[in-house]
A = this chain, B = another copy of it.
């Protein structure tokens, strides 16, 4: 910057001003400074700027994994908004592990992010303490809680499960099963479904759990084989924790010559891009992930930039049941 200043015949400070507050510099000097920058190919050092101003324009995002479209698409819209406000994203994956999350928070806090995005509500005590001490805006997404670390944007997993149970019962299904990854978040949803369905129909609900991680079509197919061949499930509705599972069930059912939804009905979760194009089209629950990412970004921005004196702490984005052909 000093070099640029010399070229433009001004001091280093004026160059700094030209970059951060161009309106405070006369048009003439501004022009000379810009020319000098152009000529030299000067790239300012954001590190030094951040150290001095105590604002890094950096956001830390911790998601379970980026190889699942659910997490990726939320982050996608979140990043878009953040970037448009001049913030960059530092991304790390927790692999569904709160201890890993704790370790990452400890490391990443040393980079002094202006804000943090966390997935879900399951954090270690130490994570909470560090975050509180750091006094940084935090947004927890996906699940909803009345007692967030700072603020929470999402929907009630339990309610979503209940809504599917109500829908299934209204459609006349009397027997039910669920297929889920064994991740706390999807299990809460499953429990909502089971409790409500049992209450309505008086029948027990069969459950299949797969390991936490990315749900696959193959696991969905295997789950249906398991349900039919070994668990004695012969007809009714199956509520899946993910559209991938549901699609797998559809394929396995067709391969076995089962009719959908007459013999087996299937409900997915997520309304992913393929859900409307399966055969038959998949009945599922839509969560507007783009909207969720968007709202999370804005909630964080409000806190960082202090644009609102009464920022909302809990934002419910809801969900929508989308009836199609599979149930």
Contact = CB atoms under 8 A, between A and B. Distances in A.
Interface of A: 41, 43-48, 50-51, 56, 65-67, 69, 72-73, 75-76, 79, 83, 88-93, 106-112, 129-130, 133-134, 214, 216-218, 221, 244, 247-248, 251, 254-255, 273-274, 276-279
Contact of A112 (B46, B79, B247): B46
Contact of A254 (B107, B273, B279): B279
Nearest to A273: B216
B88 A277 contact: no
A126 to B, nearest CB: 10
A129 B73 CA distance: 32
22 contacts: A41-B129, A41-B133, A43-B109, A43-B110, A44-B110, A45-B51, A46-B111, A47-B51, A48-B51, A51-B51, A66-B66, A66-B72, A66-B75, A67-B73, A88-B90, A89-B90, A89-B91, A89-B92, A216-B277, A218-B273, A218-B274, A248-B274
A287 B65 CA distance: 20
A50 B90 CA distance: 16
Contacts of A79: 91-93
Contact of A41 (B47, B130, B254, B274): B130
Contacts of A277: 216-218, 221, 248, 251
Nearest to A56: B47
Contacts of A248: 274, 277
A66 B56 contact: no
Which interface residue of A43, A109, A133, A279 has the most chain B CB atoms within 10 A? A43
A22 to B, nearest CB: 16
Nearest to A247: B274
A279 B112 CA distance: 50
B44 A47 contact: no
A42 to B, nearest CB: 10
